[in-house]
Amino acid sequence: MAGHSLGEYSAMVCAGALPFAEGVRLVKLRGEAMQDAVPMGEGAMAAVLGLDDDTVEAACAKAAEGDVVAAVNYNAPGQVVIAGSKAAVDRAIAACQEAGAKRAMPLPVSVPSHCDLMRPAADRLAEAMASIDLRAPRYTVIQNVDAEAHADVETLRTRLIEQLYQPVRWTSCVEALSGLGAEVFIECGPGKVLTGLNKRIARGSRGLSVNDPDSLTAALELAAKRLASRRRPMADTLSRTRMEESMTTERRVALITGASRGIGRAIAHELGRQGRIVIGTATSDAGAERIDADLKEHGIEGAGRRLDVTDQQSVDALIKSIGEEFGAPTILVNNAGSRATIC
């Protein structure tokens, strides 16, 4: 995953790298520090359309004249945002227009984000972040500054601080995600700006904007279908003995952990629609009963079962009982925890 500018903090929270409460505190401090770094009216930003990155950078260099102005958001091919002192940004707008830009227009913002004028704000943010208990992300998070994922906590911390005065390389971030195999990009939050940008960057990709219950349902259903279509042979989750047993029976039994709600429930419905026998698990008897009732309501063969995925004996016992009642599971969807994995 990735987040654009301020959205990088949301991505870090979602990935488990940054506690929610600390994230809220940092975002508040970050905004205050940025506002304090440059007096109102002395900084500016502008969007430039229709020029390549090199031409925009050259226009900024020509317009600087000792002031600060630079390309700060590489949003998509042919769409770059510049920022700096107001006089220098005005000169850069004129230089971009002379270079053939389709449009070069000021943006209604209160601070010139992601440029050298934000270094004082970065210093304040660094002081606050020194005491934050960052953790290695549970998901891959591509960071804005270098379009790379970092597991090292100190590197992650440094990149978050640098992001205040260095460009957001969104084009490179989306290209990195695409290179990792991403084909569907889901934008979370109000608006559809990133969805449009992402389609321009990753040609042939699909984009969804999630901002209400209906769009969330559509995203979950799409995720369920794609996970179901990408299943692969059972790996080490089942023992070799059970693997051999499964090869002699019809490959129709799916075991889904965390199936009582959300994406786990959506995957259960999709596999059931495909004719699979679905065994869904929950961490409580009540959750297992809800799964059982939900499967029956949707005409899906299977059952709900209670399971503690951290207890290997419980896992072994459940797989054995499923094998005896329904046949050996040949599809495993591990949806317990922070992500869904299908085997």
Residues 141 and 188 in one domain: yes
- On whether residue 119 sits in a domain, the answer given is no
For 68, the domain range is 39-110
Alpha-carbon dihedral of residues 317, 321, 327, 329, nearest 10 degrees? -30
Instruction: State the pTM of this model.
Output: 0.69
Q: In b/e form, how buried is each residue of 276-286, taking b as 16+ CB within 10 angstroms?
A: bbbbbbbbeee
Are 328 and 321 in contact by the 8 Å Cβ rule? The answer is no
Which residue out of 5, 178, 205, 314 is catalytically annotated? 5
- On whether residue 209 sits in a domain, the answer given is yes
Domain end, chosen from 69, 95, 110, is at: 110
Give the model's pLDDT for residue 227: 67
- On whether residue 147 sits in a domain, the answer given is yes
Which residue out of 4, 114, 150, 269 is catalytically annotated? 114
- On whether residue 296 sits in a domain, the answer given is yes
Give the model's pLDDT for residue 27: 93
Report the CATH number that the domain containing residue 25 is assigned in CATH: 3.40.366.10
- With pLDDT > 70 as the criterion, what percentage of the chain qualifies? 90
Residues 153 and 185 in one domain: yes
Residues 208 and 329 in one domain: no
The pLDDT of residue 324 is above 70: yes
Summarize the confidence of residues 66-73 as an average pLDDT: 98
Residues 214 and 330 in one domain: no
Q: Is the dihedral of CA 264, 266, 271, 275 positive or negative?
A: positive
- On whether residue 258 sits in a domain, the answer given is yes
Residues 52 and 24 in one domain: no
Report the CATH number that the domain containing residue 246 is assigned in CATH: 3.40.50.720
Summarize the confidence of residues 21-38 as an average pLDDT: 94
Mind listing the pLDDT tens digit for each residue in 233-260? Answer: 333 434 443 444 443 334 488 899 888 8
Residues 217 and 161 in one domain: yes
Residues 209 and 89 in one domain: no
- On whether residue 318 sits in a domain, the answer given is yes
194: DSSP letter: H
Note if 5 is an active site residue. yes
Report the CATH number that the domain containing residue 68 is assigned in CATH: 3.30.70.250
* Number of separate domains in the chain: 3
Residues 30 and 141 in one domain: yes
Note if 215 is an active site residue. no
Residues 207 and 77 in one domain: no
Are 329 and 246 in contact by the 8 Å Cβ rule? The answer is yes
- On whether residue 189 sits in a domain, the answer given is yes
Give the model's pLDDT for residue 343: 47
Angstrom distance (rounded) from CA 134 to CA 320? 40
Give the model's pLDDT for residue 229: 64
Mind listing the pLDDT tens digit for each residue in 101-130? Answer: 999 999 999 899 999 999 999 999 999 999
First to last CA, the chain: 22
